[in-house]
Chain A
Amino acid sequence: MEKWSRFNIASVALGFGFLYLPIVLLVIFSFNESKLVTVWAGFSTKWYSQLWHNQGLLDAAWVTIRVGLLSATCATVLGTLAALALVRYSRFRGRVLFSGMVYAPLVMPEVITGLSLLLLFVAIGLDRGFWTITLAHITFTMCFVAVVVQSRLLSFDQSIEEAALDLGATPVRTFFAITLPVIAPAVFSGWVLAFTLSLDDLVISSFTTGPGATTLPMKIYSQVRLGVTPEINAICTILIGIVALGVVVASIVTKRREVQREKDERAAVAAIG
């Protein structure tokens, strides 16, 4: 085993410093007493308590959470199906087009996706608002779910499934009894990813929204344009906290499951031996 050289340690440390410093500064200045976000004037939580009296902001947060929960759940179902279709069926008519439609949204500039979805909603005469944002979010987040689940399915030992089928289980039962438990961590992280992408989206929401449906990023964006304030730092800190908590919980759950699985496997081997 080669040593971790100083150069490598330095580049990783500098890289992480670059990635985290701006976020850390933002969090620190959300507790600033002064209205300026660049001059420290003492610790205070007043910006947080002010948030609770900002009705517009609370409404936007509620819309965002509802859109996120609904769209992440639908996107997880659709994305998991898409991943199954891509991994399990190597040949079907239009597969090239299908895989293209799964990968393209990953890199498609948001302004194009947003504009095209809006024009679709107008063409079919759908009233714009909560539901159009949700449909738009399902569409672009399901592709991220598909990629996450797909990578898990590719490393999945299909012979267990075949065994279940040989023993007379129906495909549906096999899926729920064998496949789903194995890919569950990936499906779960796909859901969390879809939820945070939805929570975060500004451009697609702005295009597809209608009167009465303002999401939190839209609200933040319109305030940011007027200037940087500690109040926005406070909202951002809360959002970062929620996401960090979610990711940490998700990784602990995944870790536990892995440890459990290894234990089970060892127990099984011991029982045979």
Chain B
Amino acid sequence: MAKLASALMSRLVIIIPYAWLLFFFLIPFFIVFRISLSETTVAMPPYTPVFDLAGGLAGMLEKAREFSVDNYVWLTEDALYFNAYVSSVVIAAISTFLTLMIGYPIAYGMARAPRAIRPMLLMLVILPFWTSFLIRVYAWIAILKPEGLLNQFLMAIGVIDQPLIILNTNAAIYIGIVYSYLPFMVLPIYSALEKMDHSLIEAAQDLGCTPISAFWRVTFLLSLPGVVAGCLLVFIPAVGEFVIPDLLGGSETLMIGKTLWNEFNANRDWPVSSAVAIILLMILVIPIVYFQNVQAKADSEGR
């Protein structure tokens, strides 16, 4: 009896979160996909019904014949969407690269810090992540504005005499993404570098490596898993970013997260926004699966 109960308990440990994620995470994607194939109507909800369970299997097959790929055709015909996808990927890639360039020296410096202060440094990197994303993006508006703090500072020390226009340009988006996602880059690289045995570097140098080539051939190579994890953690969410392009970017900045939001909230076109989401997901599916493999590998190593 006790055995049966314990077997049931162990089942429940798996079944409860499994069922929750199936229902609230996986099934919704099928609904999005289904709605992306339906026609736009002006009713509420603004699309033709998806599932008509009352009609049974025959009814569903009937419905299946009404599927239309019009929304997708429309997306490919309109250059706006294509450009938005391309520029989202490009902006995310540039920002990821910049985040790596800034994050790596920070992670490296932290990993070389005296052991006693490392937990404190780690905490200081994590802390901004706990404060609101929206607030951190908002903070940059006052800094980057033409009459903002950065321009005041640069003009006061005499570097420039005309205010720089940064807010509402792509440069502001890069700054916003680098700033918001920096902890995601620093943490995995730091944990890879911290585990590294420093005597390897000494060995490489003893064997005649210059410090620079020792860095590339030993340190960087060993930190590569952290670099990959960090880049994925920045790149994937950045492609679909909405808040940063909306608040810091300009009207000419096209990013797909913002396009989807506008399509949904302003135009109330649910089928088209579903199609936009499905294509975005298809662009991201390879990096996401790759990310999951990296995670799963890290877990099995930790075991």
Contacts and interface: CB of A to CB of B under 8 A. Distances in A.
Interface of A: 1-2, 4-5, 7-12, 14-16, 18-20, 22-23, 25-26, 29, 37-38, 78-79, 81-82, 84-90, 92, 94, 97-112, 115-117, 119-120, 122-123, 135-136, 138-139, 142, 146, 150-151, 154-155, 170-172, 192-193, 196, 199-200, 202-203, 206-207, 217, 220-221, 224-225, 228, 232, 236, 239-240, 243-244, 246-247, 251
B148 interface: yes
B165 interface: no
B270 A119 contact: yes
Contacts of B121: 12
Given A19-B128, A170-B2, A243-B130, A26 B138 contact: yes
B249 interface: no
A193 B130 contact: yes
A239 B135 contact: yes
Given A139-B25, A171-B10, A115 B260 contact: yes
A23 to B, nearest CB: 6
Interface stretch (B13-21, B61-69, B72-80, B218-226): B13-21
Interface residues of B, number: 95
Contacts, number: 264
A136 B295 CA distance: 24
10 contacts: A11-B108, A15-B182, A26-B142, A81-B13, A102-B17, A107-B232, A117-B28, A196-B130, A240-B131, A244-B131
Contacts of A155: 302
Interface in B214-253: 232-233, 236-237, 239-243, 247
Interface in B279-303: 280-281, 284, 288-289, 291-292, 295-296, 299, 302-303
Contacts of A84: 13
Contacts of A4: 112-114
